[in-house]
Structure 1
Protein backbone atom coordinates (compact mmCIF):
# COMPACT_ATOMS: atom_id res chain seq x y z
CA UNK A 1 0.00 0.00 0.00
CA UNK A 2 -0.31 2.32 -1.82
CA UNK A 3 -0.48 0.85 -5.31
CA UNK A 4 0.00 2.94 -8.45
CA UNK A 5 -0.99 1.01 -11.57
CA UNK A 6 -0.15 2.81 -14.80
CA UNK A 7 -2.09 1.90 -17.93
CA UNK A 8 -0.65 3.48 -21.07
CA UNK A 9 -0.25 3.19 -24.80
CA UNK A 10 2.87 1.14 -25.56
CA UNK A 11 4.22 3.84 -27.87
CA UNK A 12 4.98 6.15 -24.94
CA UNK A 13 7.88 3.84 -24.13
CA UNK A 14 9.70 5.34 -27.12
CA UNK A 15 10.14 8.53 -25.06
CA UNK A 16 10.95 6.99 -21.65
CA UNK A 17 11.65 3.47 -20.44
CA UNK A 18 9.25 1.58 -18.22
CA UNK A 19 11.81 1.73 -15.42
CA UNK A 20 12.15 5.51 -15.69
CA UNK A 21 8.37 6.09 -15.67
CA UNK A 22 7.91 3.77 -12.68
CA UNK A 23 10.77 5.46 -10.85
CA UNK A 24 9.39 8.96 -11.46
CA UNK A 25 5.89 8.06 -10.23
CA UNK A 26 7.48 6.47 -7.15
CA UNK A 27 9.56 9.59 -6.46
CA UNK A 28 6.59 11.93 -6.87
CA UNK A 29 4.36 9.78 -4.65
CA UNK A 30 7.08 9.77 -2.01
CA UNK A 31 7.49 13.57 -2.10
CA UNK A 32 3.87 13.96 -0.95
CA UNK A 33 4.87 12.49 2.44
CA UNK A 34 1.52 10.65 2.52
CA UNK A 35 3.17 7.21 2.50
CA UNK A 36 6.14 5.34 3.86
CA UNK A 37 8.53 5.08 0.90
CA UNK A 38 9.00 1.33 1.42
CA UNK A 39 5.24 0.80 1.05
CA UNK A 40 4.88 2.49 -2.37
CA UNK A 41 4.27 0.03 -5.20
CA UNK A 42 4.23 1.07 -8.86
CA UNK A 43 3.42 -1.11 -11.89
CA UNK A 44 3.06 -0.29 -15.56
CA UNK A 45 0.85 -1.99 -18.18
CA UNK A 46 1.53 -0.88 -21.78
CA UNK A 47 -1.20 -1.58 -24.34
CA UNK A 48 -0.72 -2.19 -28.06
CA UNK A 49 -4.46 -2.19 -28.80
CA UNK A 50 -6.72 0.55 -27.46
CA UNK A 51 -9.11 3.36 -28.36
CA UNK A 52 -9.35 6.74 -26.67
CA UNK A 53 -12.54 8.57 -27.61
CA UNK A 54 -12.87 6.26 -30.63
CA UNK A 55 -9.38 7.26 -31.80
CA UNK A 56 -5.96 5.73 -31.48
CA UNK A 57 -4.39 8.46 -29.37
CA UNK A 58 -1.64 7.96 -26.80
CA UNK A 59 -2.77 7.91 -23.20
CA UNK A 60 -1.57 7.46 -19.64
CA UNK A 61 -3.95 6.67 -16.81
CA UNK A 62 -2.76 6.02 -13.28
CA UNK A 63 -5.01 4.06 -10.94
CA UNK A 64 -3.98 4.86 -7.38
CA UNK A 65 -5.22 2.63 -4.58
CA UNK A 66 -4.55 4.05 -1.12
CA UNK A 67 -5.52 2.97 2.36
CA UNK A 68 -8.43 5.01 3.72
CA UNK A 69 -7.63 7.94 5.96
CA UNK A 70 -6.29 10.59 3.58
CA UNK A 71 -8.33 13.73 3.12
CA UNK A 72 -9.90 14.79 -0.17
CA UNK A 73 -7.39 17.66 -0.29
CA UNK A 74 -4.44 15.26 0.18
CA UNK A 75 -5.72 12.93 -2.55
CA UNK A 76 -6.38 15.86 -4.90
CA UNK A 77 -2.84 17.14 -4.35
CA UNK A 78 -1.46 13.64 -4.99
CA UNK A 79 -3.41 13.54 -8.26
CA UNK A 80 -2.23 16.95 -9.40
CA UNK A 81 1.38 16.21 -8.50
CA UNK A 82 1.49 12.95 -10.46
CA UNK A 83 -0.35 14.35 -13.49
CA UNK A 84 1.98 17.38 -13.48
CA UNK A 85 5.06 15.15 -13.51
CA UNK A 86 3.71 12.96 -16.30
CA UNK A 87 2.72 16.04 -18.31
CA UNK A 88 6.25 17.37 -17.90
CA UNK A 89 7.66 14.03 -19.08
CA UNK A 90 5.17 13.63 -21.95
CA UNK A 91 4.15 17.11 -23.15
CA UNK A 92 2.84 15.73 -26.45
CA UNK A 93 0.29 13.41 -24.80
CA UNK A 94 -3.08 15.07 -24.25
CA UNK A 95 -4.71 12.16 -22.42
CA UNK A 96 -3.05 11.98 -19.00
CA UNK A 97 -5.15 11.27 -15.92
CA UNK A 98 -5.26 9.66 -12.50
CA UNK A 99 -8.00 8.29 -10.29
CA UNK A 100 -7.50 7.74 -6.58
CA UNK A 101 -9.51 5.07 -4.79
CA UNK A 102 -9.55 4.26 -1.09
CA UNK A 103 -9.59 0.77 0.25
CA UNK A 104 -10.86 -0.07 3.74
CA UNK A 105 -8.55 -0.97 6.62
CA UNK A 106 -11.17 -3.41 7.87
CA UNK A 107 -11.05 -5.53 4.71
CA UNK A 108 -7.36 -5.15 3.84
CA UNK A 109 -5.04 -8.04 4.61
CA UNK A 110 -1.50 -8.91 3.64
CA UNK A 111 0.80 -11.78 4.55
CA UNK A 112 2.38 -9.92 7.48
CA UNK A 113 -1.04 -9.50 9.05
CA UNK A 114 -1.73 -13.26 9.27
Structure 2
Protein backbone atom coordinates (compact mmCIF):
# COMPACT_ATOMS: atom_id res chain seq x y z
CA UNK A 1 0.00 0.00 0.00
CA UNK A 2 -0.43 2.77 -1.26
CA UNK A 3 -2.06 2.85 -4.66
CA UNK A 4 -0.87 5.86 -6.67
CA UNK A 5 -3.25 6.79 -9.49
CA UNK A 6 -2.07 9.48 -11.88
CA UNK A 7 -5.02 10.97 -13.75
CA UNK A 8 -4.23 13.26 -16.69
CA UNK A 9 -5.64 14.82 -19.81
CA UNK A 10 -4.99 12.65 -22.85
CA UNK A 11 -3.73 15.68 -24.76
CA UNK A 12 -0.85 16.19 -22.33
CA UNK A 13 2.48 16.08 -24.17
CA UNK A 14 5.00 14.51 -21.79
CA UNK A 15 7.12 11.41 -21.26
CA UNK A 16 4.60 9.29 -19.36
CA UNK A 17 7.16 6.60 -18.55
CA UNK A 18 9.30 9.23 -16.80
CA UNK A 19 6.24 10.71 -15.05
CA UNK A 20 5.23 7.30 -13.70
CA UNK A 21 8.76 6.43 -12.55
CA UNK A 22 9.32 9.83 -10.94
CA UNK A 23 6.07 9.80 -8.98
CA UNK A 24 6.74 6.23 -7.88
CA UNK A 25 10.27 7.12 -6.75
CA UNK A 26 9.08 10.25 -4.95
CA UNK A 27 6.62 8.12 -3.01
CA UNK A 28 9.45 5.76 -2.03
CA UNK A 29 11.64 8.72 -1.06
CA UNK A 30 9.11 9.91 1.56
CA UNK A 31 10.05 6.83 3.64
CA UNK A 32 6.40 6.45 4.63
CA UNK A 33 5.90 3.09 2.90
CA UNK A 34 7.60 -0.21 2.22
CA UNK A 35 8.76 0.25 -1.39
CA UNK A 36 7.60 -3.26 -2.35
CA UNK A 37 3.98 -2.35 -1.55
CA UNK A 38 3.68 0.80 -3.70
CA UNK A 39 1.60 0.43 -6.86
CA UNK A 40 1.60 3.26 -9.41
CA UNK A 41 -0.54 3.56 -12.52
CA UNK A 42 -2.03 6.21 -14.78
CA UNK A 43 -5.33 6.92 -16.47
CA UNK A 44 -5.81 9.29 -19.42
CA UNK A 45 -9.03 11.25 -19.80
CA UNK A 46 -9.89 12.02 -23.44
CA UNK A 47 -11.88 15.15 -22.60
CA UNK A 48 -11.80 17.72 -19.84
CA UNK A 49 -12.82 21.28 -19.11
CA UNK A 50 -10.65 23.15 -16.63
CA UNK A 51 -11.91 26.24 -14.85
CA UNK A 52 -8.46 27.79 -14.57
CA UNK A 53 -8.06 28.33 -18.31
CA UNK A 54 -5.45 25.61 -18.67
CA UNK A 55 -5.96 22.87 -21.24
CA UNK A 56 -4.11 20.01 -19.53
CA UNK A 57 -4.10 18.59 -16.03
CA UNK A 58 -2.43 16.00 -13.82
CA UNK A 59 -4.11 14.89 -10.61
CA UNK A 60 -2.42 12.33 -8.37
CA UNK A 61 -4.62 10.27 -6.07
CA UNK A 62 -2.88 8.44 -3.24
CA UNK A 63 -5.04 5.72 -1.71
CA UNK A 64 -3.51 4.56 1.57
CA UNK A 65 -4.61 2.71 4.64
CA UNK A 66 -5.76 5.01 7.42
CA UNK A 67 -3.23 5.68 10.15
CA UNK A 68 -0.81 8.23 8.72
CA UNK A 69 -0.66 11.56 10.52
CA UNK A 70 -1.80 14.80 8.93
CA UNK A 71 1.85 15.90 8.84
CA UNK A 72 2.89 12.72 7.01
CA UNK A 73 0.13 13.15 4.43
CA UNK A 74 1.08 16.81 3.94
CA UNK A 75 4.70 15.77 3.40
CA UNK A 76 3.60 13.17 0.86
CA UNK A 77 1.40 15.69 -0.99
CA UNK A 78 4.13 18.31 -1.13
CA UNK A 79 6.74 15.79 -2.31
CA UNK A 80 4.55 14.55 -5.14
CA UNK A 81 3.47 18.06 -6.14
CA UNK A 82 7.11 19.18 -6.24
CA UNK A 83 7.92 16.23 -8.50
CA UNK A 84 5.11 17.21 -10.85
CA UNK A 85 6.37 20.79 -10.89
CA UNK A 86 9.84 19.64 -11.98
CA UNK A 87 8.44 17.52 -14.82
CA UNK A 88 5.65 19.69 -16.19
CA UNK A 89 5.25 23.28 -17.30
CA UNK A 90 3.25 25.97 -15.51
CA UNK A 91 0.59 25.60 -18.21
CA UNK A 92 -0.54 22.27 -16.69
CA UNK A 93 -3.00 22.25 -13.78
CA UNK A 94 -1.46 20.12 -11.00
CA UNK A 95 -3.02 18.61 -7.88
CA UNK A 96 -2.40 15.83 -5.35
CA UNK A 97 -4.82 14.30 -2.84
CA UNK A 98 -4.18 11.47 -0.37
CA UNK A 99 -7.27 9.43 0.51
CA UNK A 100 -7.52 7.22 3.60
CA UNK A 101 -8.88 3.73 3.04
CA UNK A 102 -10.79 2.12 5.88
CA UNK A 103 -8.84 -1.06 6.83
CA UNK A 104 -12.05 -2.62 8.16
CA UNK A 105 -13.52 -2.78 4.65
CA UNK A 106 -10.51 -2.68 2.29
CA UNK A 107 -9.78 -6.07 0.75
CA UNK A 108 -7.08 -7.46 -1.53
CA UNK A 109 -5.70 -10.87 -2.43
Q: Aligned-pair distance for 1:55? A: 4.8
Asked if the contact 1:5/1:63 (under 8 Å) is kept, the reply is yes
State the match for 1:3 in structure 2: 3
For the pair 1:59 / 2:57, whether they are aligned, the reply is yes
Q: Aligned-pair distance for 1:53? A: 1.0
Query: Of the two, which has the highest radius of gyration?
Result: 1
State the match for 2:98 in structure 1: 100
Q: Aligned-pair distance for 1:44? A: 0.7
Q: Which of the pair is proportionally richer in helix?
A: 1
Aligned positions, number: 109
Runs of 4+ in 1 over 6 A off after TM superposition: none
Question: Relative to structure 2, which stretch is displaced further, 42-51 or 65-74?
Answer: 42-51
What pairs with 1:28-107 in structure 2 (closer than 5 Å)? 28-53=26-51, 55=53, 57-107=55-105
Structure 1: how far apart are the matches of 2:53 and 2:47?
Answer: 11
For the pair 1:20 / 2:26, whether they are aligned, the reply is no
State the TM-score, normalized to the length of structure 1.
Answer: 0.87
Structure 1: how far apart are the matches of 2:104 and 2:63?
Answer: 15
Q: Aligned-pair distance for 1:93? A: 3.0
Deviations 1:9-58 (A, max 9, x none): 1232x221x22211111000000011111111111111221111185611
State the TM-score, normalized to the length of structure 2.
Answer: 0.91
Asked if the contact 2:54/2:91 (under 8 Å) is kept, the reply is no
What SS does the aligned partner of 1:106 have? coil
Question: Any unmatched runs of 5+ in structure 1?
Answer: none
What is the alpha-carbon root mean square deviation over aligned residues? 1.5
